[in-house]
Amino acid sequence: MSNIPEQLRYAVSHEWIKVEGAVGTVGITDHAQHELSDVVYVDLPKVGAQAAAGSTIAVIESVKAASDIYSPVSGEVVEVNGDLVKKPELVNKDPYNAAWLFRIKLSNPSEIDALKDAAGYKALIGE
């Protein structure tokens, strides 16, 4: 049984977003980190990068493979989590807090409506 916080929204590609005003904080879910297993490297976007909803924004490498991470919303990256450079394993240990990946200024807040809520994500992953 994975952890699926109620207050977040979820993409079908297993990213979560916490929206506060015009800015969203994005990471990957507990289910996703469990599927990846040991994370060894995180390739984050540059501050200022423009993202389109559903486009590849980051790469998370586990021991065996590199996995694309998709931005759940469109906008401009305003901050990235530098802690993940030294401690990529935080993605496995604390996917919803310490291992946030980046913050993005939403250019189209209505895109949030297309994302799943906790119950919807739970159903998606069959739990």
Partner 1 sequence: MTDPANLQKTALFAAHQKLGARLVDFGGWNMPVQYAGILEEHKAVREAAGVFDISHMGEFFCDSHFGKSFLNQLLTNDVEKLSVGQGQYTLMLNEQGGVIDDLIIYRLPKDQYFLVVNASKIDEDRAWMEKKTPTGVSFSDQSGAYSAVALQGPKALEIARAFLGAGWTEPKRNEITSYSWNCQEILAARTGYTGEDGIELFFKNEIAENFFFALLEAGKPFGLKPCGLGARDTLRLEACLPLNGNDLSDKRTPLEAGLGIFVSLTKEANFPGKDVLLRQKTEGPQEKLVAFRLKDKGPPPRPHYLLFQGAAQVGEATSGAPSPTLGYGIGLAYVRTDCAAPGTELDLEVRGTRVPVEVVKKPFYKRAG
Closest CB to partner 1 among 66 and 114?
66
Give the CA distances from residue 70 to residues 1, 15, 27, in Å, rounded to whole numbers and listed in that order.
24, 7, 10
Is position 37 an interface residue for partner 1 (rule: CB under 8 A)?
yes
Q: Which is nearer to partner 1, 19 or 60 (CB)?
A: 60
Measure the CA dihedral 72/104/92/9, to 10°. -40
Q: Which of 22, 47, 63, 123 binds partner 1 (CB under 8 A)?
A: 63
How close are the terminal C-alpha atoms of the chain, in Å?
Answer: 7
108 binds partner 1 (CB under 8 A): no
Return the closest-CA partner of residue 111 out of 80, 71, 79.
71
In the bound state with partner 1, the residue whose beta carbon lies nearer, of 35 and 76, is 35
Spatial contact of 41 and 91, defined as CB atoms under 8 Å apart: no
Residue 94 binding partner 1, by CB under 8 A: no
Name the CA dihedral angle for 50, 78, 17, 68, rounded to a multiple of 10 degrees.
50
Whole-number minimum distance, CB 107 to partner 1, in Å? Answer: 25
Q: Is residue 52 at the binding interface for partner 1, with CB under 8 A as the rule?
A: no
Residue 41 interacts with partner 1 (CB under 8 A)?
yes
Residues that bind partner 1 (CB under 8 A): 37-38, 40-41, 43, 59, 61, 63-64, 66, 85-86
